[in-house]
Amino acid sequence: MTTHIYDFLEKSLIKSSKKTAFVEPFAKERKEITYKNFDLFSKKLASEILKTLGNDNPTQAPVLIILP
């Protein structure tokens, strides 16, 4: 049973990387992102957060991300 969003996204990436993961419902023009691109952007964001923290030995700690 999938209990974390991370597990769900990882499985979805493996099964259907080119399918749409999210759609922006309030945009004037349809905006969407695939599972593959979402994975890429989230890894880039995680790298930037680690750089900003300046920690050479990162531990796994939760980071709150609030989406609009």
Q: What is the pLDDT of residues 13-51, one digit of tens each?
A: 999 999 999 999 888 898 999 999 999 998 898 888 878
Whole-angstrom CA distances from 23 to 20, 30, 44 are 7, 7, 20
Task: Kindly report the pTM of this predicted structure.
Answer: 0.68
Whole-angstrom CA distances from 54 to 47, 48, 62, 65 are 11, 10, 16, 19
Q: Which two tokens stand for residue 56?
A: 């050479």
Q: Write out 47-67 in H/E/C secondary structure.
A: HHHHHHHCCCCCCCCCCCCCC
